[in-house]
Amino acid sequence: MSVSLQKGQKVSLSKDNAGLANVLVGLGWDEAQPAKKGLFAPKPQPIDCDASAILLQNGKLCSKEDLIYFGNLRHKSGTVQHMGDNLTGAGDGDDEQILVDLASIPAQYDRIVIVVNIYQAVQRKQHFGMIRNAFIRLVDGRNNQEMCRYNLSDDYSNMTAMIFGEIYRHNGEWKFNAMGQGTTDPGLGELANRFC
């Protein structure tokens, strides 16, 4: 049974799911319908949201190799894998997915932060206020059952990036924290620097 989370709510992944090893992190969003601006107004560019996973050691990003995104789809340990880039967010269900092998993550990594940024947000004058129905969900890889879901419902106007949530290790147990923290970082590099 899936748990619906609120902003800032934490949930144990391991406690209620004995033997949990593989988790699929699904992220989704839709573009809000733009206001009509006249018959000859240029058509707006699609909003290209990019999901990424940042692996932290003692809460810090220690290497560029620990940043998993469309340009680095697989962590060197093989335990975190990005399933590919969706350029428009069109369609139902997950727009981007990240697979996490919790059972095999090297011990030095204590936290995996899941972030989404809008590609070229500043140049395209786009922000998360132009997005609706954004969510992050965690699915048990053994049976494809959704364990928890966090729907982002706050107003994120003028925010160009988002820290959706984090999977973290605490006392030998994996947990998830629904964060929903918007930022004005113009790109993934600046967003990742928050964790250095």
pLDDT at 34 (0 to 100): 62
Query: Is position 38 within any domain?
Result: no
The mean-pLDDT minimum among 27-41, 110-124, 165-179 falls in 27-41
Does the residue 113 lie in any domain?
Answer: yes
Q: Is residue 61 part of a domain?
A: yes
pLDDT in tens, 142-192: 999 999 999 988 889 999 999 999 999 998 899 999 999 999 999 999 999
Domains in the chain, number: 1
Among the ranges given (57-66, 85-94, 116-125, 185-194), the one the predictor scored with the smallest mean pLDDT: 85-94
One-letter amino acid at 94 equals: D
Which range is most confident: 19-28, 59-68, 125-134, 148-157?
Answer: 59-68
Asked, for residue 37, whether it belongs to a domain, the answer is no
In 58-141, alpha helices (H): 121-124
Is 7 part of a structural domain of the chain?
yes
What is the spatial order of strands in the sheet that 96-101 belongs to? 3-5, 145-151, 131-140, 22-31, 96-101, 80-82
Q: What is the DSSP-derived secondary structure letter of residue 156?
A: -
Confidence band of 29 (pLDDT split at 50, 70, 90) = confident
In this predicted structure, the answer to whether residue 85 has a pLDDT above a threshold of 70 is no
54 CB burial (10 A radius; 0-12, 13-18, 19+): buried
Q: What is the pTM of this model?
A: 0.90
Q: Is residue 100, in this structure, part of any structural domain at all?
A: yes
Mean pLDDT of 62-74: 96
pLDDT, greater one: 76 or 172: 76
Q: Kindly state whether residue 68 falls inside one of the protein's structural domains.
A: yes
Mean of per-residue pLDDT scores for the chain: 89
pLDDT at 37: 61
In a domain, 41, yes or no: no
Residue 154 domain boundaries: 3-32+46-193
In this predicted structure, the answer to whether residue 87 has a pLDDT above a threshold of 80 is no
CATH of the domain at 80: 2.60.60.30
